[in-house]
Amino acid sequence: MTTEVVGAKRGFRIGRWALHLVIAIILIMWLVPTIGTLINSFRTETAVRFDGWWNALAPPYDFTLESYRHVLTRQGMGDAFINSLIITIPGTIIPIAVASFAAYAFAWMKFPFRNVLFVIVVGLLVVPLQMTFVPLQILFRDAGIAGSFLAVWLAHTGFGLPFALFLLRNYMGSLPSAVFESAAIDGASEMTAFFRLALPMSVPALASLAIFQFLWVWNDLLVALIFLGPNIPNHPMTITLAGLVNSLGGEWHFLTAAAFVQMALPVTVFLLLQRYFASGLLAGAVKG
């Protein structure tokens, strides 16, 4: 074995270990704040205010469920959880359904200005959300749906559609053309090809998109606050949990428990769909 080969292998090993070290450092940087928040969620108010979370790892241990009890029994929290589901489920399904039809059309159907229209829709990704709040609020007010769930559904559909269309169009465009050509020869209609071929083969992309959209809508505070306004019976958990901190900044220690109550369902959804996440996201991002 020549010296050059030995040196190359040694350099490869060193580079691999260096990469692993960098990944481990980044992982620790991400985990430490989360671990600290989790530990503080089981501590008393006095301990959270005047003592570092790392001191709780040494005896005597003084953990309590009081913060979770306060968050879960707070008036209106149960209704807020239901409201979050009412907002999030349609706010995830509607844009994905619309984007699926549009993505198939852009990928496999021929019509005038197809590429131009696709670029225009995807180009809406660069438009800041804040610029659309006032026009949309005026539109919803004139339509008589301001402060309703429908307004929030439509807002999330509009905000999520450009990325959903970009991801699904690129993924569907990477599917084998021979499959659709064979279906056309056999007399299959476009609707048959869409429901029987395109959708089943696009499950990884649909699942990864569902994760993104679900997390975005579930954790959203600004859009719900803007379009629901003072309509308290319709407020989701994000608005209700934000109300744990009063105008004087008190009760902020409950936010540690509230954070984990808020993230329980999104983490569950991610764990259920994670096997589709990487394959769907990468294929939709680089092919087409």
Give me the DSSP letters along 44-104.
-HHHHHHS-GGGGGSSSP---SHHHHHHHHSTTHHHHHHHHHHHHHHHHHHHHHHHHHHHH
What is the mean pLDDT of the segment spanning 229-235? 82
- Those residues with Cβ within 8 angstroms of residue 8's Cβ, 6 or more apart along the chain or in another chain: none
pLDDT tens string 66-115? 888 888 877 677 788 899 999 999 999 999 999 999 999 999 988 899 88
pLDDT of 230 strictly over 90: no
Q: What global pTM score does this model have?
A: 0.79
CATH 1.10.3720.10 fits 74-286, yes or no: yes
Taking a C-beta distance cutoff of 8 angstroms, is the pair 241, 255 a contact? yes
pLDDT of 199 strictly over 70: yes
Q: Provide the token pair at 278.
A: 């990487």
Each domain of the chain, given as residue ranges in start order, spans 3-66, 74-286
Amino acid in the structure at residue 87: I
Distance CA 64, CA 44 (A): 7
pLDDT of 248 strictly over 50: no
| Rg of the Cα atoms in the chain | 24
DSSP H helical segments within the chain, as ranges? 3-40, 45-50, 66-73, 77-108, 114-123, 130-143, 149-173, 177-185, 190-193, 199-201, 203-218, 222-228, 237-242, 255-286
pLDDT of 225 strictly over 50: yes
Burial class (CB in 10 A: 0-12, 13-18, 19+), 42: buried
Nearest Cα residue to 38 out of 269, 264, 276? 264
pLDDT tens string 204-215? 889 888 888 998
